[in-house]
A and B are shown apart, each in its own frame.
Chain A
Amino acid sequence: MSIEVRNVTRRFGSFAALEDVSLEVCTGELLALLGPSGSGKTTLLRVIAGLETVDSGQVLFHGEDATTQHVRERRVGFVFQHYALFRHLSIFENVAFGLRVRPRSRRPPEAEIRRRVHELLALVQLDWLADRYPHQLSGGQRQRIALARALAVEPRVLLLDEPFGALDAKVRQELRRWLRRLHDEMHITSVFVTHDQDEALEVSDRVVVMNEGRIQQVGTPQEVYDQPANAFVYRFLGNVNLFHGRVQEGRALIGGDSVAVPAHGDTPAGAALAFARPHDIEVLRPRAGAQGIAARVEHVLALGSLVRVDLRPDAGNEVIHAELSREDARGLALAAGERVLVRPREVRVFAA
């Protein structure tokens, strides 16, 4: 089941939650809507579900206009951030809910309901909790039950609103890998919302980066990470260092240094913003002839497999963050207060 969103605009008062958004979700893919809070990602998900109306534009399911269709008729599975389990019903009855509320003519017989619910509980590996009540379960278990409940109605698409947002870090990691495996088995068209870039990059087939009600970029995790469409996407997908400089003849001039930026070979010379990831920053001991930005080591912090170094450049105030491998850091043997040269190995340039 493919989903198409065409030129959708949704305003709340003077605030534009979605501004002329168009998006296509292919059949069977797992798509992530990624953005900071207030970027419109949840609104877009709710528009697809039919929980939110649009001011203008269309939502199509498999080519069919579903814009005016009620959420009941859209057959979407929706998973909420805070689970929204029915607390007065047992786990079994929670999952069975969607089957029991069907009109009599389409309601499966009791034996069939039992079979289906146990099948789903087995799928989320929580069959042994069927007789418990939601408050007796952990957050991770509740979210898996919420997923089973959503799947019980055999939805055409599965929509998840920050499904792991309320869980602690470890459970979150486990659960997102589990979701990916589940999706690989079921191939149901799925869209999930997250503000966590790692989650989006790890789990999804394609990522949609949103900001201020607009889509900034759509692409595979690799594409958006390696070829960000604009400065916002670059900054949002991880830590960055910002350098004010110039771009000239395919080179970025930063401080006393210059780095090749082949993509900007024919960009007219002018002021530019250059971004570099912390792992693309090289730290050198100053010696004769070496080029780079003169800086002083401010702080060295060993973090597992990485060593994070904060550097203060002589010119400018912004601290440069560098991430060195353990071996490199050992070779340099940096200590706070030492003078070094900093070189970005690779930068990405956007017009200032």
Chain B
Amino acid sequence: MPLLLRRHSVLPGFGLALGFTLLYLSLVVLIPLSAAFLKTASLTWGAFTAEVTAPRVLASYRLTFGASFLAASINAVAGLLVAWVLVRYRFPGKRLVDALVDLPFALPTAVAGIALAAVYSTNGWIGRLFVPLDVKIAFTPLGVLVALTFIGLPFVVRTVQPVLEDLEPELEEAAATLGAGRLQTFARVVFPTVLPALLTGFALAFARAIGEYGSVIFIAGNMPMVSEITPLLIITKLEQYDYAGATALAVVMLLVSFALLLLINLLQWWTRRRRAAA
């Protein structure tokens, strides 16, 4: 280790810094999570599988993961557009719009849920417009999607924005002088450049949506088999003092989320490998 120690660094010592990092991660992340696994271990294998594959639970997985994936996808498209507008155009009130993007970060999720439920219910401002089309938004799975889209937007915008700011307009001009049309320039130049950041934003929005509870329960209606999300089932079980059952669901969510995030990270690594870090 003498080589490592001789290298100058602001933080004192590699050993100390690494030790702190591991301790901190253990206290904040690993120990609470392993507690979930330990609690689950009090169930027999049979009881565990029965608990996590009950029809009502399976329906909630579908809704949670499906709506989260869809919401993150919608945000990937819309967020890219918002980031593009904020980076490339100057218009009055731009700073205000820029600040608005962060609102879903800051707003207590319950407040967001109540507000969304009010606006999207059949007599709310927006929900009313959909009544003639026979589409109900609030208190249906569609409402879940709306809430998850709402909370995920800033993740995409804030990860894509800096990359777009670094994307010189000259690149687009260069593509144009080489004969590329707008669509080709976007598909061959702009999109590949922002793709890694877009994937990061997507992953963050997706992860956030899977864990979201506060804003969803107000707008979802929470009908078993239809509009009930997995976090709500966990809370329900906790309220019934079924701690083992609650942690069993938590473990499944944890494993699936981890697998999905790992997949997205791999995808990101694969796209980033091909481009400049500097």
Contact residues of A with B, CB < 8 Å?
A: 49, 51, 70-72, 75-78, 80, 82, 84, 86-89, 97-98, 100-102, 133-135, 149-150, 152-153
Complex contacts, B275 vs chain A, CB 8 Å:
87-88, 133, 135
Give Cα distance in the complex from A133 to B193, angstroms.
13
Count of chain B residues with a beta carbon within 8 Å of a chain A beta carbon: 22
Give Cα distance in the complex from A199 to B146, angstroms.
61
Complex contacts, A133 vs chain B, CB 8 Å:
274-276
Q: A82-B170, A84-B171 are in contact. Are A72 and B181 (CB under 8 A)?
A: yes
Within 8 A of A (CB), among B70-124: none
* Shortest Cβ gap from B168 to chain A (Å): 6
Contact A71 B176 (CB under 8 A): yes
* 21 A-B contacts (beta carbon < 8 Å): A72-B176, A72-B177, A72-B179, A75-B179, A76-B177, A80-B170, A84-B168, A84-B173, A86-B174, A86-B188, A87-B276, A89-B192, A98-B178, A98-B180, A101-B175, A101-B181, A133-B275, A135-B277, A149-B174, A153-B178, A153-B179
Question: Pick the contact of B178 from A87, A97, A134, A135 — CB < 8 Å?
Answer: A97
Contact residues of B with A, CB < 8 Å?
A: 168, 170-171, 173-181, 184, 188-189, 192-193, 274-278
**Majority SS at the chain B contact face:** helix
Contact A78 B189 (CB under 8 A): no
Number of CB contacts from chain A to chain B under 8 A: 74
* Shortest Cβ gap from A105 to chain B (Å): 13
* Shortest Cβ gap from A146 to chain B (Å): 8
User: What is the chain B residue whose CB lies nearest that of A98?
Assistant: B178
User: What is the chain A residue whose CB lies nearest that of B272?
Assistant: A88
Give Cα distance in the complex from A97 to B179, angstroms.
9
Complex contacts, A75 vs chain B, CB 8 Å:
179
Give Cα distance in the complex from A102 to B179, angstroms.
7
Complex contacts, A72 vs chain B, CB 8 Å:
176-177, 179-181
Contact A49 B170 (CB under 8 A): no
Contact A51 B278 (CB under 8 A): no
Complex contacts, A152 vs chain B, CB 8 Å:
178
Give Cα distance in the complex from A212 to B168, angstroms.
27
Q: A80-B170, A86-B189, A97-B188 are in contact. Are A150 and B177 (CB under 8 A)?
A: yes
User: What is the chain B residue whose CB lies nearest that of A101?
Assistant: B180
Complex contacts, A149 vs chain B, CB 8 Å:
174, 178
User: What is the chain A residue whose CB lies nearest that of B192?
Assistant: A88
Contact B175 A97 (CB under 8 A): yes
Give Cα distance in the complex from A102 to B181, angstroms.
9
